[in-house]
Amino acid sequence: MVFLVAAVTTYLLTFVVRRYANRIGAVVLPDARMVHEHPTATVGGLAMVGGFIVAMAVAYFMGGFSLIFHGSSEALGVVLAALVMAGVGLIDDLKDVSAPAKVAGQVLSASLLTFFGATMFYFRVPFAGVVVLAPSFVPLLTALWVVAMANAVNLIDGLDGLASGIVGIASFSFFIYAYKLVQLGSLSSNSIGPLIAVIVAAVCVGFLPHNFHPAKIFMGDTGALFLGLLMAASTSVVGGRTSDVSGETFFFFAPLFIPFVILGVPMTDMVFAIIRRTAKRMSVSTPDKAHLHHRLLQMGHGHRRSVLILWAWTVVLSGMVLIPLFTNRGNALIPVLLAALGIMLYTLFQPAIRSRTLAKPFPRVKLFLSRFSRLNQGRVRGNHFRR
């Protein structure tokens, strides 16, 4: 019920946001760095915020979530932190904000999570034991976690439907993972993590029909930073509070590693962007056209196909986590590895195959056009042609 409410509300609110974004001039114009060709409305993240708030209100009045909302301040902290983060993104969409100012806003949002207790308490290092976080260290780690998640989502938001699709797939996969932990008794039933994850998946599903290529509206920094904050909140309260599940698979034993796997595409893109810009002695916040999606376009993949390829990688990475959990067999990863191999071969070789296929059927047409071009050039110069 909460999933449906969040998805439908986001879908309907996006119509309203599109209308008023065009009226007030909240529009992204094409330029050398952008890949879209027409002026497009932005701040679509406001519809996501509306869907999230309505879904949280519905959950509050449903009896099944009473343990989450009563006796704990975490839900309030997540809502307030999400609103602050969306506000930081909205200001940046309407009026460019410097990178230090954006990071300061992200740290403020993380501080609200810390103040209301929506943070990790400890985490497990594989084969090394449990690391209990000192109270003085929690705010710093929470801030780093939030900044990393928010900027990873923001950097991958470069093609129509890319960020909303990847985050939707990853968050739904994380919901399944966290719900499994609750069933096993390894995660408390009053954890807010699964609820936040399923709402994030729902708002992405509701927004995607408006955002898939050709996009009618962009989520902007409003939506990207908002989604990053919610993913950071849900993963920290799950990954940082799971009790001992020894004897299960690696991903049960080390739940804090889950976000780095299911969000492998944006995380990898962010790491490469930092390394690339640092090596060129550029500011980390300096935009460029060398992200993963840009490279796919340069290889010859179209806009939609580039997005679908990166979606497919997110599905495969999520499968690496989920399939062993439900089968509890090591060889269960074989289909996932075969799917990864297939996607890799398709990514590398499909553009070349397509270009050769298009060139082969028309050799005589190309010969005729080349001769016709030379004939016209000769006539312009005043020459006469004999057979």
Largest CA distance in the chain: 95
Q: What is the DSSP letter of 126?
A: T
- 221 is known to lie in a ligand binding site: yes
250 has pLDDT over 70: no
- 328 is known to lie in a ligand binding site: no
Output the six-digit token pair for 132. 């209990």
Overall pTM > 0.75: yes
Please give the pLDDT value at position 362. Answer: 45
Please give the pLDDT value at position 230. Answer: 96
Q: Are 228 and 149 in contact (CB under 8 A)?
A: yes
Q: Give the integer Cα–Cα distance in Å for 319 and 272.
A: 24
Least confident of 44-53, 300-309, 333-342: 333-342
Residues 63-115: tens digit of each pLDDT:
888 888 987 899 999 999 999 999 999 999 998 888 899 999 999 999 999 99
Please give the pLDDT value at position 386. Answer: 42
- Any idea what the Cα angle at residue 225 is, between residues 132 and 198, rounded to 5°? 70
Instruction: Compute and round to an integer the Cα radius of gyration of the chain.
Output: 24
Q: What is the DSSP letter of 384?
A: -
Q: Are 210 and 219 in contact (CB under 8 A)?
A: no
- Give the DSSP H/E element, type plus range, for residue 223: helix 220-239
Q: Give the integer Cα–Cα distance in Å for 105 and 111.
A: 10
Q: What's the chain's average pLDDT?
A: 81
Q: Are 266 and 153 in contact (CB under 8 A)?
A: yes
188 has pLDDT over 90: no
- Any idea what the Cα angle at residue 375 is, between residues 369 and 380, rounded to 5°? 130
Q: Give the integer Cα–Cα distance in Å for 175 and 170.
A: 9
* Domain layout of the chain by residue ranges: 2-271
Please give the pLDDT value at position 280. Answer: 79
Please give the pLDDT value at position 352. Answer: 52
Least confident of 14-18, 134-138, 379-383: 379-383
> Which residues pair with residue 27 across a beta bridge?
41
SS3 category, 368: helix
SS3 category, 379: helix
Q: Are 167 and 227 in contact (CB under 8 A)?
A: yes
> Which residues pair with residue 235 across a beta bridge?
none
- Distance from the Cα of residue 14 to its chain's centroid: 18
Question: Half-sphere exposure of residue 317, counting CA atoms within 13 Å on the CB side?
Answer: 25
Least confident of 165-174, 321-330, 348-357: 348-357
DSSP 132-192: EPPTTTHHHHHHHHHHHHHHHHHHHTTSTTHHHHHHHHHHHHHHHHHHHHHHHTSS-TT-S
- When pLDDT is cut at 50, 70 and 90, the band that residue 239 belongs to is confident
Please give the pLDDT value at position 357. Answer: 47
